[in-house]
Amino acid sequence: MSSTFYLIGIGFFVGVAAWFLFIWAVKSGQFDDPEAPKYRMLDDENEHGKPSIHETTPKKKKSP
Query: Do residues 45 and 51 touch, judged by C-beta distance below 8 A?
Result: yes
Q: Provide the pLDDT for residue 59.
A: 60
56 lies in some domain: no
- The pLDDT tens digits for 25-35 are 999 988 888 78
Q: Tell me which residue of 23, 32, 19 sits closest to 40, measured CA to CA.
A: 32
β partners of residue 45: 51
Q: pTM of the full predicted structure?
A: 0.50
Q: Provide the pLDDT for residue 55.
A: 54
User: How many domains, in total, are found in the chain?
Assistant: 1
Helix (H) or strand (E) holding 41: helix 36-44
Residue numbers of the chain with a pLDDT score lower than 70: 44-64
Query: Do residues 45 and 52 touch, judged by C-beta distance below 8 A?
Result: yes
36 lies in some domain: yes
Instruction: Classify the C-alpha dihedral 37-39-40-46 as positive or negative.
Output: positive
